[in-house]
Amino acid sequence: RISGLEEEVARVTGIVAALGMPPYHDLAGNPIDISPMGRHRNDYRIELGEGYVFCTTCEVVCPPRASHCRDCDNCVLAFDHHCPFVNNCIGQRNYRFFCALLASAMCLGVATIAGVAIWFGHSQVHAWANRVAIVAFVACAVTLVVFVAGLGSLHAYLVVRGLTTREAFTGRVGDRGRTLLHLRGP
């Protein structure tokens, strides 16, 4: 524990926590209303203005568009979502790598379908069971490619609009920020 840290955070944010536990008070001693942020009992955020919030779980001041991930138990800048496929939060620092993963998965699926189709066209497979297995494999691959293409299209739309998945589905969008086409806000 660092001595003087709580006092410094209280001075900078204007929030005082009694022994690090709710209820939170401002420097004048008035209680601050906190709103539930997640499903855990300690997931609360305190609005500080200008888009900044104080995360009571991490006990840090978070910049605008940052959010707490309940799966990783961390605050993430420009939090998009927690991806179960890569078991990691997708946010400001790794969003481009997530989009590259989607693009490469789609290219791999298309190449696999094309390779199987070319092989099937040139092969001399006469067994009925082998043909059914190949058709079933191609049907599954096409389904996965369509799913990944839909997910990639959604994220391409979100990039153009300058939104995160969380902002798009909750409807809570900050008034500041740059999209690919224009500045957001007045």
With cut-offs at 50, 70 and 90, classify the pLDDT of residue 102.
very high
pTM over 0.85? The answer is: no
Q: Six-digit token pair at 111? A: 């190449």
Give the catalytic positions in this structure: 83
Reply yes or no on whether the pLDDT at 77 is more than 80. yes
Query: Which residue, 67, 105, 106, 104, is CA-closest to 89?
Result: 67
Residue 166 has pLDDT above 90, yes or no: no
Going from the C-alpha of 170 to that of each of 1, 59, 186, the distances in angstroms are: 37, 24, 21
Helix (H) and strand (E) counts in the chain: 4, 10
Residue 50 neighbours by CB under 8 Å, 6+ apart: 64
More confident site: 44 or 62:
62
Residue 44 contacts residue 22 (beta carbons within 8 Å):
yes
